[in-house]
């Protein structure tokens, strides 16, 4: 036989027990150094995808793959490298040592053990991420409230008790229908309370122009707007990206305007904080409390982030093996969907086998049935068939030197 000529093929029919079918396909896939020695033919072409026997198992494998993709995304997000899976019996090693499975365990037991193992790792990582997200959100609220308190103090010191809505410098934007004269009308006279109300909070910098414009339009210029930039970006707990935000302090004198402003805050992703710039003593007390809260949440975030990285490093050591195992399990069930029900609880399969490997294929099928220890297991049967439903595929044995010249159609 020449280098570029196909192996001689034989069309066979295989009868196997349903309980041993999973083991049969698993062992057959390991022949010829993992390349396989048989190509099965789909005997259920009249059935749709969702009418086949092993669709539920494939869906369970899809869920495992989704969880494993989440692992890979988290590893990439936190710059944690995944270890190489290696080669040579990695799936069997994973099933025996980590899942504590034996060769005679049923297919349902194997799939259930893999599901439980991956789901356990997934739930552990999700729990850490949820705690980290909640703590990050709390930390952000404390940081934002501290910035709001500092802005209120700055507003009170710069503008004075009477003209709280006047200009505050180059980093403050003010819109007012009143006079911009910074001098009080009654200089040196008694300080009066004009009944101004304040609405304080934090808004993303990207929303600043739209937010400012809508306030002016909705209130017809009857609100003084003051914006202060937050020097340190705020980390978004969901995406992990840094977001630049601004502190806003709105000064107005109407409950109707207040209702409009609160609706505008909700529409522009602006978070509101209850602060009164006129009460300086309360602001200073809350500012000291916020410093302590921020220090505590910073320490807790550091510990929780370290636990997250440790968990990801442990996952990264084996995630490639888990993915390979899940894909192999899914491929086995895809192949089993090619088989057709036969009498006596048997499955019928047809396909093309390398003629020189027929005895080896038969031996694999018999070993798979012998590993399932049950008296009801019937003996498997492999027999030549003349009802060839497809054309013969090509199969070339190649070496490291001839593999690059392989050009014929193969399976």
What's the CA gap between 363 and 250, in Å, rounded? 83
From residue 224, how far is each of 172, 178, 310, 406 by CA, in Å?
A: 11, 9, 50, 77
| Separation of CA 53 from chain center | 30
What span, in angstroms and rounded, lies between the C-alpha atoms of 305 and 307?
5
pLDDT at 50: 87
- CB–CB of 328/28 below 8 Å? no
Residue with tokens 């949820």: 130
Distance CA(130)–CA(137), nearest Å, equals 11
SS3 246: strand
Burial letters for 351-378: b for 16+ Cβ neighbours within 10 Å, e otherwise?
bbbbeebbebbbebbbebbeebeeeebe
Residue 297, token pair as written in the block: 């949440």
Q: Sketch the domain layout of the chain as residue ranges.
A: 1-43+342-411, 54-154+280-336, 162-180+194-277
- Please report the DSSP string for 54-123 in residue order: THHHHHHHHHHHHHHHHHHHHHHHTT-PPPP--SSSHHHHIIIIIS---TT--HHHHHHHHHHHHHHHHH
Q: What is the model's pLDDT at position 373?
A: 57
pLDDT of residue 379: 58
262-284 pLDDT per residue, tens: 999 999 989 999 888 888 888 88
Q: Are strands 9-17 and 381-384 parallel, antiparallel or unpaired?
A: antiparallel
Contact criterion met (CB below 8 Å) for 173 and 223: no
Q: If we measure between CA atoms, which residue out of 299, 207, 289 comes closest to residue 248?
A: 207
Q: What top-level class would CATH report for the domain 1-43+342-411? A: alpha beta
pLDDT value for 404: 57
CB 31 within 8 A of CB 364: yes
Cα–Cα distance measured from residue 363 to residue 382, given in angstroms and rounded to the nearest whole number: 10
CA gap 63, 57 in Å, rounded: 10
The pair of structure tokens assigned to 63 is 């869920």
On the question of a common fold for 1-43+342-411 and 54-154+280-336, the answer reads no
pLDDT score of 188 = 45
Residues with Cβ within 8 Å of residue 141, at least 6 apart in sequence: 271
Joined together, the tokens standing for residue 147 give 């910035």
In the numeric block, which tokens belong to residue 44?
């259920």
Which pLDDT score, from 0 to 100, does residue 162 have?
38
Cα gap 365→28, rounded to integer Å: 8
Look up the pTM and report it: 0.77
Q: pLDDT value at position 98?
A: 80
Q: How far is CA 263 from the centre of its chain?
A: 33
Contact (CB, 8 A) for 380 and 369: yes
Per-residue confidence (pLDDT) for residue 377, from 0 to 100? 52
d(CA 294, CA 139): 6
The string of pLDDT tens digits covering residues 328-341 is 999 999 999 999 98
Alpha carbons 91 and 320: distance in angstroms, whole number: 10
Written in H, E and C, the secondary structure of 164-232 is CCCCCCCCCCCCCCCCCCCCCCCCCCCCCCCCCEEEEEEEEHHHHHHHHHHHHHHHCCCCEEEEEECCC
Question: Which structure tokens are listed for 9?
Answer: 């093929």
Residue 22 CA to residue 54 CA, distance in Å, equals 11
Q: What is 162-180+194-277's CATH topology?
A: Alpha-Beta Plaits (3.30.70)
- Rounded CA-CA distance 139/295 in Å is 9
Q: Check residue 119 and give its pLDDT.
A: 94
Fold entry, domain 54-154+280-336: subunit c (vma5p) of the yeast v-atpase, domain 2 (1.20.1460)
Query: Would you give per-residue pLDDT tens digits along the chain (411 residues)?
Result: 455 677 788 888 888 888 888 989 988 888 877 777 888 999 998 988 888 999 999 999 999 999 999 999 999 999 998 888 766 667 777 887 788 777 667 888 889 999 999 999 999 999 999 999 999 999 999 999 999 999 998 887 776 543 444 433 334 443 433 434 444 544 444 444 567 889 999 999 999 999 999 999 999 989 999 999 998 899 888 888 899 999 999 999 889 999 999 999 999 989 999 888 888 888 889 999 999 999 999 999 999 999 999 999 999 988 999 999 999 999 999 999 999 988 877 889 998 998 888 888 888 888 888 877 554 455 567 777 666 666 777 776 666 665 555 444 444
Q: How many CB atoms lie within 10 A of CB 384?
A: 10
């Amino acid at each position: 036989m020449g280098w570029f000529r196909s192996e001689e093929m034989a069309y066979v029919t295989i009868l196997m027990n349903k309980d041993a079918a999973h083991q049969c396909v698993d062992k057959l896939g390991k022949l010829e150094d993992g390349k396989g020695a048989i190509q099965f033919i789909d005997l259920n072409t009249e059935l749709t995808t969702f009418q086949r026997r092993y669709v539920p198992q494939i869906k369970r494998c899809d869920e495992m793959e989704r969880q494993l993709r989440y692992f890979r995304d988290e590893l990439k997000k936190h710059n944690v490298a995944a270890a190489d899976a290696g080669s040579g019996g990695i799936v069997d090693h994973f099933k025996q040592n980590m899942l504590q499975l034996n060769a005679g365990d049923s297919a349902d037991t194997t799939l259930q053990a893999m599901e439980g193992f991956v789901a356990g790792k997934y739930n552990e990582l999700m729990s850490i991420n949820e705690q980290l997200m909640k703590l990050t959100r709390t930390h952000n609220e404390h940081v934002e409230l501290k910035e709001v308190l500092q802005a209120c103090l700055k507003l009170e010191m710069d503008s004075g008790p009477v003209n709280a809505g006047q200009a505050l410098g180059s980093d403050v934007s003010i819109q007012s229908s009143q006079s911009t004269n910074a001098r009080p009308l009654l200089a040196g006279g008694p300080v009066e309370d004009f009944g101004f109300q304040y609405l304080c909070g934090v808004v993303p910098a990207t929303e600043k122009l739209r937010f400012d414009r809508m306030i002016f339009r909705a209130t017809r210029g009857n609100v003084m707007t003051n914006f202060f930039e937050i020097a340190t970006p705020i980390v978004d707990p969901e995406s992990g990206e840094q977001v630049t935000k601004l502190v806003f302090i709105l000064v107005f004198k109407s409950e109707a305007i207040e209702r409009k402003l609160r609706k505008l805050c909700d529409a522009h992703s602006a978070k509101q904080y209850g602060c009164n710039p006129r009460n300086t003593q309360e602001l200073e007390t809350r500012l000291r409390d916020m410093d302590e809260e921020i220090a505590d949440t910073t320490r807790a975030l550091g510990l929780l982030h370290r636990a997250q990285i440790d968990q990801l490093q442990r996952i990264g050591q084996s995630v490639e093996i888990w993915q390979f195992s899940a894909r192999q399990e899914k491929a086995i069930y895809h192949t089993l969907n090619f088989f057709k029900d036969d009498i006596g609880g048997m499955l019928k399969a047809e396909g093309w086998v390398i003629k020189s490997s027929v005895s080896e294929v038969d031996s694999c099928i018999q070993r798979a049935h012998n590993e399932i220890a049950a008296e009801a297991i019937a003996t498997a049967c492999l027999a030549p068939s003349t009802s060839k439903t497809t054309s013969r595929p090509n199969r070339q044995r190649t070496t490291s030197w001839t593999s690059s010249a392989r050009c014929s159609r193969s399976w």
